[in-house]
A and B are shown apart, each in its own frame.
Chain A
Amino acid sequence: MPMAEVKTLEAVAVSHFFDVSRPFLQRVFTREPRRSLRAVDDVSFEIAPGTTFALVGESGCGKSTIARLAVGLYEPSAGDIMFENQALSSARAQPAMRRRMNMIFQDPYASLNPRWRVSDIVSEPIRAFRLARGSREVQGRVGSLLAQVGLTVRDGDKYPHEFSGGQRQRISIARALASEPDFLVCDEPTSALDVSVQAQILNLMRDLQQRLGLTYLFISHNLAVVRHMSDRLGVMYLGRIVEQGPAEAIFRRPLHPYTRLLLDAIPDLEQVGRARTPVGGELPSPIAPPPGCAFHPRCRLANERCRVEKPVHVWAGDVQVACHAVEEGRDG
């Protein structure tokens, strides 16, 4: 494996199912079996310290489920999430480990308590983990956290509604940094923001990473943002990582037909007036994914094998890809 020994986070064959059965009585009457949705299916990846691993994919591909698994908000149905070589499930009782990971959410309007002042929001982790003694020391920490994300000490006295979307996301970041974490999960942190504000937040996140040596798991549906932020990249489709490797390698030469579709589908500034040939087909339901390779109904390279046999990951240089066509060399 072309990776360093120390891993901040490692997912080992992680799966997560949701029970989507109808209520018990209804099942009895209609003789329906239990049904489960396989949101994450046998996913493995590693994140080296101080780097950014990005997960990209369309809605329903399981990327937000992984975000929640990575910070322990969900427990995996199978497999293990390891934080610095220690299973997260065993760490539930260890606040020391929980302190070292945090999350930034997509919607800065929903993730901040509207009844709390900003200073209370940011100081909560400090108080919860007893990282400072006495209110003066807490307030001092809050002040320096707010300064770190480009806000002023006086902003601490205000309520979240007094801020714009971008400033609220700065507050979320300050709160996430308050417990002095090493690892941050960022679930679509700029999707709710306008582009000029998005640039401010992305720049801030990169600055903080360099300054504090943070490790990021970065979740996004926006490939251009992912390209800007990530060192390594995983492309997800219906609960599985179909391609992963160094971001530069994947952007330079995408291998999996789905990665190619995604890259091709993005309207790009540099292609004014491009006439495109869009790929047809819809995203299948994750409750009843197609057999074999889940992407085969939309794939122009699919053959009989793809319809029956689930592809496993094969190495192509630094990149891991799960595709029969790539493995057999019929990808043109």
Chain B
Amino acid sequence: MPLLDVRDLTVEFPTRRGLLRALDRVSFGIDAGEVLGVVGESGAGKSLTGAAIVGLLERPGRIAGGEIRLEGQRIDNLAPEPLRRIRGRRIGMIFQDPLTTLNPLYTIGRQLVETMQTHARLTDAEARRMAIGWLDRVGIPAAAQRIDAYPHEFSGGQRQRVVIALALCAEPALVIADEPTTALDVSIQAQIITLLKGLTRDHGTAVMLITHDMGVIAETADRVAVMYAGRVAEIGPVAAVIRHPAHPYTDGLMASIPSLEHRVNRLRQIDGAMPRLDAFPAGCRFHPRCPRVFGRCTEDPPELIPAGPTQAACWLHADG
């Protein structure tokens, strides 16, 4: 059984104009030590999936169906207090903007010490020593001196390093990283990805890496889930999904990314845009934009179907 097991996760938002189903039967698993990339365009439901797992759905959103299990234990139906204990101790979180995670009024040392002491019995001296160790591990130079600095005294890249230390210092089993490098410059982004990858591998941490950047996924993830309009369109080993995409959406997405290796005259484009939450079409949600659409697609929403090394929610693969 995978460390994180998400099955048929459905999230709904009741509105005056009716029920909006933002996530529709999303299923995937992540093993210990594995990095699952979750990729998709804005509004596809990637961040919502992460928020649902850690119980941080914004009202009036709610989990309307499905199960989330962490190390075999159901966590989708917990009361706020036990859930809070799991979050932070067994699930660490890294967000795009480090300034929203760090408290500007506390030194980073105090925030690290507090986090570790909340989740383990440690004396102040022990916790401080470990905090310096973590800052050192995430590559903050002169950690012993910098531990008493405030978040604003660090650069953007260093702040994200502190956030990573904060997410990992309670040694969680699962880390959910939501666009961890999107706000950073490319040369800094490379440093952060290498760091995250190395630390989670050393500790056997499962990682759910949410990003819109397929390049980051290619380098970092073991498997990838491609989301479209609140559903998983395709999931499989990262090399297979990138080189031999089975879903027409994944195929179009890969072809629309300009390459560094060679220049083409025209990029392949997917015409149109992803439908809004309140206007999902019947059947496969991609069918109005799909170049290979046929009769069944317009009526019948496809489930994930094995398609070679990956699984794709596409009727093209229905016969094997």
Residues of A within 8 A of B (CB): 58-59, 164-167, 194-200, 202-203, 206, 221, 223-225, 227-228, 248, 251, 261-274, 276, 278-280, 282-283
Contacts and interface: CB of A to CB of B under 8 A. Distances in A.
Given A269-B242, A272-B219, 19 more contacts: A58-B185, A194-B274, A195-B214, A198-B256, A202-B267, A203-B266, A224-B260, A248-B263, A265-B186, A265-B189, A267-B189, A267-B190, A267-B220, A268-B259, A270-B218, A276-B190, A278-B187, A282-B188, A283-B155
A239 B110 CA distance: 38
Contacts of B155: 282-283
A272 B218 contact: yes
B237 to A, nearest CB: 9
Nearest to B212: A194
Interface in B27-51: 41-42
Nearest to A167: B273
Contacts of A282: 155, 157-158, 188
Interface in B240-261: 242-243, 252-254, 256-261
A199 B256 contact: yes
B218 A267 contact: yes
A274 B258 CA distance: 19
Given A194-B42, A270-B261, A206 B266 contact: yes
Contacts of B265: 206
A286 to B, nearest CB: 13
A97 B271 CA distance: 36
29 contacts: A58-B186, A195-B41, A195-B253, A195-B256, A196-B256, A197-B273, A198-B256, A199-B257, A199-B269, A200-B269, A206-B265, A223-B186, A227-B260, A228-B258, A263-B260, A266-B186, A266-B215, A267-B219, A268-B259, A268-B260, A269-B257, A271-B219, A273-B238, A274-B219, A276-B193, A278-B190, A278-B194, A279-B190, A283-B187
A227 B265 CA distance: 11
A266 to B, nearest CB: 6
Interface of B: 41-42, 139, 155, 157-158, 185-191, 193-194, 212-216, 218-220, 238-239, 242-243, 252-254, 256-261, 263-271, 273-274
Contacts of A198: 256
The DSSP consensus for interface residues of chain A is helix
Contacts of B219: 267-268, 271-274, 276
B190 A224 contact: no
Contact of B187 (A164, A166, A279): A279
Contact of A278 (B191, B256, B258): B191
Contact of B268 (A199, A228, A274): A199
B218 A269 contact: yes
Contacts of B268: 199
B273 A280 contact: no
Contacts of B274: 194
Contacts of A167: 273
B267 A268 contact: no
A238 to B, nearest CB: 12
A221 B190 contact: no
Contacts of A274: 219
Among A225, A265, A269, the one with the most B-chain Cβ atoms within 10 Å of its Cβ is A269
A159 to B, nearest CB: 16
Contacts of B215: 266-269
B271 A200 contact: yes
A196 B188 CA distance: 25
A154 to B, nearest CB: 17
A224 B257 contact: yes
B193 A267 contact: yes
Contacts of A58: 185-187
Contact of A223 (B213, B257, B260, B271): B260
B218 A203 contact: no
Nearest to A61: B185
Nearest to A207: B266
Contacts of B239: 272-273
Nearest to B211: A267
A269 B41 contact: no
A225 B264 CA distance: 11
A248 B258 CA distance: 15
Contact of B258 (A59, A196, A202, A264): A202
